[in-house]
Structures are given as structure tokens and as C-alpha cells.
Amino acid sequence: MRDVKLSTSEIAHLWGTYINDSMANCVLQYFLKNVDDNDTKGLLQFALKTSQDGLLFLIDLFEKEKFPLPVGFHKQDVNKEASRLFTDEFYLYYLKNMAFIGGSGYSLALGTSARKDVRNFFLQAIQSSSQLYDKTADVLLEKGLFMRPAQINIPTKVDFVTKQSFLTGWFGSRRPLTSVEIMNLSFNIERNELGRSLLTGFQQVARSKEVKEFLSKGVQIASKHVEIFGSILSQSGLPAPMVWNTVATESTDFTFSDKLIMFHSAALTAASTSHYGTSLGTSPRRDIGLHYSRLLMEALKYGEDGAKIMINNGWLEQPPTATDREALKNKSLKS
């Protein structure tokens, strides 16, 4: 079989997976040093092995392709001996969210990959993410911690929309929320609650004042978004979901490098903008759509602020890019 070069989409997803797995490798090793519950420990071990197996495959592939190995994250980016920063319950919600985001990302990677070895890699990654989600969901259910959206009655008949008022929201009477809108609002509350806990812990152990201030702003944004989404549910007489015991401890030990903290925060923000975009496209009520549009722009601005900090500190590793033809042209003119 003739050699097939990696496509642009394959390069993009493989490179991104290496960066993410190297970060997960650092974070999960630290979590494993500070976990008490055996079920949670088993899940962390499974997730860590998945990340490490992925790194081994990618390192071998990059060497064969003569592809420069990304810098990513290493032992200097984590202090595994630092005191506990997060609770076991936080670890469970973190793993559930990690598995969900990973499964979505790997599915996209599979759908844009052609080479057999790359497709096999992402197929295995999807299976591992699915298993991690399934195992984590079982543990959360057993411990009574699984967050469910507000309950609605099962419909008794099929209905079709017959009035334009189905779309209104700012003026006049508002229709009840659809099951899809409830699902999106509840899911975005859960993710922001988790993000608020993560950033709270990060701001306690960050070294740079600039990074601490950035994280503090992120905590405020997440709190505001939780309040807005919760108020929409409340106006329809529905309860907002609540995560349990995810508050960070009082540790201020050096735990993660500011570089890792900023990258993790950026990844979390990117995931939020993606989910807000999906929620916007599946929320017909105009007032909800406008909320998502406004909050999406706020998340994008926050992400841009984070990127500037990373660039200024030399922490933002550049993804593989197309050849700069203009630069080559200018170089040939000078020679």
C-alpha cells in the first residue's frame, strides 16, 4: 500500500489531541494523588491510561511522519505532591464533562479523517470516551450525584406549531420551554458550575497576578451565566440543576503551571462557545436566542483576553499552518 500523507484535517485533530492528552496526563496524575473514593480512583486510572495510550500512539506516528513533536505539557507543569485542591465529587463531574467533550471532538475527527490508522485511532478514542462517560454516569447515579434536567410530562399526542407566537419571548405571553431548551439550559448550568469551581481553584494556586485576575473574571462570568440560565428555568416554574460539593479547598500550593492553567481555561471557554452556538441554533424562543447570542459574545471576548495573556507570556503553541506564500515571495526578492 502506497504511503498516504496526512490531510489537513488529520494534522489538525492529531496535533490538538496530543496537546490535550499531554495536559490531561498532568492533571489526572495530580488528581490520582488526592482521591479517597475507590470508585472515583478507578475512573481516574481509566482516564489516565486512555490519555497515556493516546500519547504513545501519537508520538510514534509523529516520528514516522517526521512531524515535529508538539511541546504540550510535562512534569514541570504539575506538582503531583501538592495538597488537595478539589473534592472527589468534583473529579466525577470533571470526568463526565471530559468524556462528553472528548467524545464530541473525536467524532468530528473521525468524520474528517481518511487514513485507516488515523480512523482506527479516533474510533478507539470514541469508544474509550463512551466507556468513561458510561462508567462515570453509573458512579454518579449510585452516589445520587447525577444531575438531571427538570422533569416534564411525557406528551400524550403529537403536536405541530401553528402560531408565530411560538417564536416570541420578549413581548406578550411566553410559551412554555421545549424539552430541547430545558436540556440546553440545564446542561449549560452544569458546565458553568463546574467551570466556576475549576477556575476558583486555579486562581488560588496561580502564581501570576495577571492570571489570577483573568481567572477571577472567569468566575464572575460563570456565576452570571448560571444565574441567567437558572432564571429562565425559574420563570417557567422549573428548578435549576445543582452540582454537589465541588467547592475548591483552601489550598494555595503550587499545583499547576500558569501555562497549563491558562490553556485549560481557554479549552473550557472554547467548549462553552461551541455549546452556546448549538443551544442558540436549537432554541426557537427569541428571548432565549438573544441571551445565548449575548453570552456567546462575552465568552468569545473572555477567550480572546486569555489568548493575549498566553501570547504575551510565550505560552500559546501555534497549530500547524499553511505556507506563508507572501513571506516566501518577499524572501526571494531580498535574496
The structural domains of the chain, with segments of one domain joined by +, span: 8-142, 174-312
Q: Is the pLDDT of residue 204 over 70?
A: yes
CA distance 53 to 50: 5
Amino acid at 290: L
Average pLDDT over the chain, rounded to an integer: 91
How confident is the model over 161-203, as pLDDT tens digits?
A: 655 555 565 555 677 899 999 999 999 999 999 999 999 999 9
How distant, in Å, are the alpha carbons of 8, 46, 224, 257, 305 from that of 72? 20, 21, 32, 12, 21
How confident is the model over 25-68, as pLDDT tens digits?
A: 999 999 999 999 999 999 999 999 999 999 999 999 999 999 99
Q: What is the chain's Cα-based Rg?
A: 22
How distant, in Å, are the alpha carbons of 97, 132, 198, 334 from that of 136? 10, 6, 18, 60
Q: Is the pLDDT of residue 269 over 60?
A: yes
- Band of pLDDT at residue 323, cut at 50, 70 and 90: confident
Percentage of residues in the chain having pLDDT higher than 90 = 79
Q: Which three cell numbers stand for residue 20?
A: 490535550
In this prediction, residue 169 carries a pLDDT of 52
Please give the CATH architecture assigned to the domain spanning 8-142. Answer: Up-down Bundle (1.20)
Percentage of residues in the chain having pLDDT higher than 70 = 93
* pTM for the model: 0.91
Domains 8-142 and 174-312 share a fold: yes
For range 284-291, the mean pLDDT:
90
For range 311-329, the mean pLDDT:
87
Q: In this structure, which topology does domain 174-312 adopt according to CATH? A: Ferritin (1.20.1260)
